[in-house]
């Protein structure tokens, strides 16, 4: 009997694994699939949505989350003017230095600066978010499977605005079904100047558009280059086929 115990143990562990994965699947729902303008080989950025998404990030998300890989000057690519970018950068305080006496100091941001972290260190960030470290959002879309749909689903997937006895919030799209982050958006949390309705769904879509751009600011250039390469290869293939056909007929004569 003893020689079969490893096999039996493996079977038991496999069964437990299947059961556990089944429970996790039951607690966590798949991401809600959305249609995004940036999807597909011909996809492009919705600059109006990105600008609204930046507003959501600035007014709602930036108190906890950073986008440290994005420079203020990058906002020019999505339609912000130089004057607007200078004003946005100047509204942030940037730690710089050392100065001539070896001390660090604070100064207003300039367009060449990157968005700063709202917290001085990781511990302070976790302490402000129920013990969970709020991640940098620069690459969050690329860091999660089906990133755009996942983030949209997470933002719209809260079951209640009230925390449970453990201080966590029910969210059907977060692994395990509970999350330390309180619902960050609700209807009317921002006011759009272009008349867009500030519903939870619209706000979530806008911030996803902003984060998609933050993660892949070169996306449009990359797709255009890819299309040029494909067209060049197609033309080259046709020319090669024509030349080969003519050469073959010449050799047969």
> For the chain, what percent of residues have pLDDT higher than 90?
74
Paired strand residues for 93:
108
Q: What is the pLDDT of residue 248?
A: 78
> For the chain, what percent of residues have pLDDT higher than 70?
89
Q: What is the pLDDT of residue 16?
A: 45
Residues in the annotated binding site for heme c: 61, 64-65, 181
Q: What angle do CA 215, 217, 222 make, to 5 degrees?
A: 110
Does pTM surpass 0.85? no
What is the chain's mean pLDDT, rounded?
89
| 77 vs 166: CA distance, rounded Å | 43
Q: Which phi and psi (to 5°) does residue 194 adopt?
A: -90, 5
Q: Tell me the average pLDDT across 172-189.
A: 95
Q: Look at residue 140 and tell me whether its pLDDT is greater than 80.
A: yes
Q: Look at residue 26 and tell me whether its pLDDT is greater than 60.
A: no
Domain ranges in the chain? 43-70+115-217, 218-253
Q: Where are the alpha helices (DSSP H) in 28-58?
A: 47-56
Pick the CATH number of 43-70+115-217 from 3.30.43.10, 3.30.2310.20, 3.40.50.2000, 1.10.760.10: 1.10.760.10
Nearest to 96 by CA among 86, 107, 88: 107
Residues in the annotated binding site: 61, 64-65, 181
Q: What is the pLDDT of residue 18?
A: 41
Nearest to 65 by CA among 143, 165, 175, 146: 143
Name the DSSP letter for residue 4: G
SS3 159: coil
| 151 vs 143: CA distance, rounded Å | 11
pLDDT tens-digit series, residues 80-132: 999 999 999 999 999 999 999 999 999 999 999 999 999 999 999 999 888 88
Task: Answer for the pair 196, 28: CB distance below 8 angstroms, yes or no.
Answer: no
How far, in Å, are 8, 59, 69 from residue 11 at the CA level?
Answer: 5, 52, 47
Q: What is the pLDDT of residue 27?
A: 54
Strands 178-179 and 93-96: unpaired
Q: What is the pLDDT of residue 46?
A: 98
Q: Look at residue 12 and tell me whether its pLDDT is greater than 60.
A: no
Q: Look at residue 198 and tell me whether its pLDDT is greater than 50.
A: yes
Q: Tell me the average pLDDT across 188-210.
A: 97
Nearest to 113 by CA among 157, 165, 68: 68
Strands 105-108 and 169-170: unpaired
pLDDT band at 28 (very low <50, low <70, confident <90, very high): low
| 79 vs 2: CA distance, rounded Å | 71
Q: What is the pLDDT of residue 210?
A: 99
Q: Look at residue 170 and tell me whether its pLDDT is greater than 90.
A: yes
Q: Look at residue 133 and tell me whether its pLDDT is greater than 80.
A: yes
């Amino acid at each position: 009997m003893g020689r079969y115990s490893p096999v039996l143990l493996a079977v038991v562990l496999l069964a437990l694994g299947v059961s556990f994965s089944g429970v996790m699947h039951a607690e966590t729902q798949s991401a809600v699939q959305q249609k995004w303008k940036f999807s597909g080989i011909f996809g492009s950025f919705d600059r109006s949505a990105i600008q609204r998404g930046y507003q959501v990030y600035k007014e709602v998300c930036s108190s906890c989350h950073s986008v440290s890989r994005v420079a203020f000057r990058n906002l020019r690519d999505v339609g912000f003017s130089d004057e607007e970018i200078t004003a946005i950068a100047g509204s942030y305080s940037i730690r710089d230095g050392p100065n001539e006496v070896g001390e660090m100091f604070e100064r207003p941001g300039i367009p060449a600066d990157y968005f700063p972290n709202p917290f001085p260190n990781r511990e302070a960030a976790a302490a402000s978010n129920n013990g969970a470290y709020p991640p940098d959002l620069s690459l969050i879309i690329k860091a999660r499977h089906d990133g755009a749909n996942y983030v949209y689903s997470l933002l719209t997937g809260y079951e209640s605005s009230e925390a449970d006895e453990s201080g966590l919030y029910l969210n059907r799209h977060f692994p395990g079904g509970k999350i330390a982050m309180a619902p960050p958006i609700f209807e009317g949390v921002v006011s759009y100047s272009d008349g867009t309705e500030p519903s939870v769904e619209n706000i979530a879509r806008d911030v996803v558009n902003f984060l998609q751009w933050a993660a892949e600011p070169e996306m449009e250039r990359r797709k255009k280059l890819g299309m040029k390469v494909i067209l060049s290869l197609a033309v080259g293939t046709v020319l090669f086929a024509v030349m080969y056909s003519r050469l073959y007929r010449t050799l047969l004569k």
